[in-house]
Amino acid sequence: MEAIGFLKNSESGRGLFVPLKPKSTPSAPLKLNGTQGIVGKALNFIKCGEDYRPVIELF
């Protein structure tokens, strides 16, 4: 809660709250092949504990 107050009072950032166990993980079809400068989905390059994986997959 202290971090929320800091961001609000200093107007220096944003926060996002995401449940650790989301009800569903929406998945939009992506066409990445052949797009210059794209190496893949960000979630494939993020290292995290398995408990946080469902949250990462939301992005």
Range of 45's domain?
A: 22-59
The 10s digit of each residue's pLDDT in 8-59 is 888 877 777 888 877 775 666 667 667 788 888 888 899 999 988 888 887 7
Q: What is the count of structural domains for the chain?
A: 1
**51 located within any domain:** yes
This prediction has a pTM of 0.48
**48 located within any domain:** yes
Mapped to the 3 state alphabet, what secondary structure does the chain carry? CHHHHHHHHHCCCCCCCCCCCCCCCCCCCCCCCCCCCCCCCHHHCCCCCHHHHHHHHHC
**10 located within any domain:** no
